Amino acid sequence: MARRVFFHIGVPKSGTTFLQTTMWNNRDQLRAQGFLYPGRRRMDHYHASQIVRGASPSALGEHGTSWERIVRELADWSGDGVISHEFFSMATARQARAAVEALAPAEVHVVLTARDYVRQFPAVWQEALKMDSTDSLDEFMRRAFAHDLPGAWSWNSQDVPAILHVWASAVPVERVHVVTVPPPGAPRGLLWQRWCEVTGIDDRGFDLDQVFDNQSLGATQAALLHRLKPHLTGPLQERPVQHRWVRQYFGHEVLGPQRGERFGLRDEDALRLRRRSRRMVRAIREAGYPVVGELADLIPPAEQPKRPHPDDVTDAEMLDAAVVAIEQMIRDVRELSTERDALARRAPAAMARRTLRRVRRRLTR
């Protein structure tokens, strides 16, 4: 079994995609220094989190053995290992203990990345909007304070003191690490440096150029996406299709590059979240969890910069963003159609059909 396993449990929207992509792209370099990032695909860690949280392996089909395979890979490894997915944050105490016991006799270190709630909740709303939510930001915040948000968008994945308490029932407090997400304006690589500090990863020789994080939307672009959501029909309402085409294509590839102005919260919502951030810091300090970074990073400034609110964006502003989006989408369709037509001209009809099927499968992965 691995000597140590660093079990990264989230929380969502705290730089997790950035860290996971960096490690996945540098798996060979990690192995060379005795670190295993297990799995055949990046999504194996996501499916493993589902199984740990009680999903039926049979219902997951080919993904139903993801957790078992990750544990087996770590059992066959003599160095250190990393497991990472933000949805482990929603495990119960019983599920957390069972997951840690499955990794015995490895020394398990739980790592939680966190940032202040005033930055966190606009990002959580935006991610929910890209997927299955149709709430406006005002509606989302009202439901958040009423503890009425579902699933991954609820306090089950965002209540940092409660999540830490759950996982501290599975490992000693001194092995429950908090990594704070640096404040705006900090060097882009600082979160990665903090991750290396807590895990002991040596990133010399790593390729960091291809790393990405989730594309943020501006106020106008987020408002446009919110306006669009009730009009999605057919397959576009299905979660896997939404992930590929609404979140990834329309959100990240079409709206994200518009680089719209960042949005903020209502003053009263920001004030309530600031108070909750201070309680979070107090709980971390009192429990004695080791911290990498500064606890001050988790307390938002009392004076927030004035930023537009997505619910206040006008129809005219949304129309301008929609025109830019439509022009890009026409160019994308033209490029795909040109490629399709060229393939059809070069190959016999039967071969063209097979080739087109392969192209379509590639595009829908």
Q: How far is CA 61 from CA 239, 242, 299, 364, in A?
A: 17, 20, 43, 19
Predicted local distance difference test score (pLDDT) of residue 365: 56
Predicted local distance difference test score (pLDDT) of residue 343: 80
Q: What 3-state class would DSSP assign to 284? A: helix
The DSSP element (H or E) to which 107 belongs, if any, is strand 107-114
Beta bridge partners of 8: 84, 111
pLDDT in tens, 39-54: 999 999 999 999 999 9
CATH of 4-117+151-213+269-301, one of 1.20.1070, 3.40.50, 3.30.1370, 3.30.1360: 3.40.50
pLDDT in tens, 159-200: 999 999 999 999 999 999 999 999 999 998 999 999 999 999
Q: What 3-state class would DSSP assign to 326? A: helix
> Number of helices (H) and strands (E), helices first, in the chain?
14, 6
Distance CA 298, CA 174 (A): 20
Predicted local distance difference test score (pLDDT) of residue 345: 77
Question: What residues in the chain have per-residue pLDDT under 70?
Answer: 210-214, 347-356, 359-365
Handedness of CA 185, 13, 147, 233 (dihedral sign): positive
Predicted local distance difference test score (pLDDT) of residue 349: 60
The DSSP element (H or E) to which 179 belongs, if any, is strand 176-180
Predicted local distance difference test score (pLDDT) of residue 28: 95
DSSP per residue over 115-133, as a string?
--HHHHHHHHHHHHHHTT-
Beta bridge partners of 107: 4
Q: CB neighbours of 87 closer than 8 A, spacing ≥ 6?
A: 10, 12, 46, 49, 50, 53, 152, 157
Q: Residue type for 115, please? A: R
Predicted local distance difference test score (pLDDT) of residue 211: 60
Predicted local distance difference test score (pLDDT) of residue 342: 85
Dig out the tokens for 293 from the structure.
Answer: 């970074």
Predicted local distance difference test score (pLDDT) of residue 231: 95
0.85 cut: is pTM over it?
A: yes
